[in-house]
């Protein structure tokens, strides 16, 4: 019986992936670094340190630090006008809560950033708990943020599903022992050879009925 629904943030709740990509491209342009846009998009969802290693691994330390400082400034100055909540999110979260499901966010973003974003968009209060990267808690594909959310809610892995949009989300769900629902909003070229989802939807709107179907099986 599914009692809890855990959500990825970027690309699942928030329409933020174009902004994330832009922030790295623009920071790279400003500091004079060449970067592969596909590599940026492919690694969204990983913790910032791991993302940076995969995308900017050849940079020297000082250049990398400069790029990260510029990018942090761009993010702080622009995220409020360039990120939005997907239209289906408030409605679906409210419906899930009305049906008795516990809700959580489990993201590779730093915890304080998750709280800031969700608070700004007035959806933070819809979640029972929020789990992000803090000391001792690793981001995806490690299962840490999912396991922390489950522990905080007192929910077993067999009583939860994780909803995300990337292979890294699926891998983290598998490692945590929870089911995975892929939400593929923007025709992202999801590679099922990396990790096969249990179910796939094109938006969050079918999710309540899907969960009720799962619980009737």
Residue 59 has what pLDDT? 86
Per-residue pLDDT, averaged over 51-57, amounts to: 91
Q: pTM of the prediction?
A: 0.95
Q: Are 87 and 47 in contact (CB under 8 A)?
A: no
- The mean of the pLDDT values for the chain is 96
Query: Distance between CA atoms of 52 and 70, rounded to whole angstroms?
Result: 14
Say yes or no to pLDDT of 3 above 80. yes
Q: Are 132 and 36 in contact (CB under 8 A)?
A: no
Coil, helix or strand at residue 1: coil
- Provide the terminal-to-terminal Cα distance of the chain, rounded to the nearest Å: 9
SS3 content of the chain, % helix, strand, coil (to 5): 50, 20, 30
Per-residue pLDDT, averaged over 142-169, amounts to: 97
Q: What is the pLDDT of residues 61-120, one digit of tens each?
A: 899 999 999 999 999 999 999 999 999 999 999 999 999 999 999 999 999 999 999 999
| Residues sharing a CB contact under 8 Å with residue 49, sequence separation 6 or more, in sequence order | none
Residue 186 has what pLDDT? 78
| Residues sharing a CB contact under 8 Å with residue 182, sequence separation 6 or more, in sequence order | 164, 165, 169, 170, 190, 197, 199, 200, 201
Banded pLDDT at 139 (limits 50, 70, 90): very high
Query: Distance between CA atoms of 186 and 106, rounded to whole angstroms?
Result: 21
Residue 49 has what pLDDT? 85
């Amino acid at each position: 019986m599914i009692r809890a629904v855990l959500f990825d943030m970027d690309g699942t709740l928030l329409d933020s992936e174009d902004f994330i990509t832009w922030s790295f491209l623009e920071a790279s342009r400003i500091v004079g670094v060449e970067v592969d846009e596909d590599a940026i998009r492919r690694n969204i969802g990983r913790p910032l340190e791991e993302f940076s290693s995969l995308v900017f691994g050849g940079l020297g330390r000082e250049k990398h630090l400069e790029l990260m400082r510029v990018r942090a400034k761009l993010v702080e100055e622009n995220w409020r006008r360039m990120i939005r909540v997907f239209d289906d999110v408030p409605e679906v979260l409210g419906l899930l809560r009305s049906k008795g499901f516990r809700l959580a966010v489990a993201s590779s973003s730093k915890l304080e950033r998750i709280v800031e974003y969700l608070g700004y968009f007035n959806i933070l209060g819809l979640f029972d708990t929020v789990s992000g990267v803090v000391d001792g808690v690793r981001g995806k594909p490690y299962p840490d943020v999912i396991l922390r959310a489950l522990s905080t809610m007192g929910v077993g892995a067999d009583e939860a599903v994780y909803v995300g949009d990337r292979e890294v989300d699926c891998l983290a769900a598998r490692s945590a022992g929870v089911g995975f629902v892929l939400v593929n909003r923007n025709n992202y070229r999801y590679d099922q050879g990396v990790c096969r989802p249990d179910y796939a939807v094109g938006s969050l709107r079918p999710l309540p009925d899907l969960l009720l179907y799962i619980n009737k099986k």
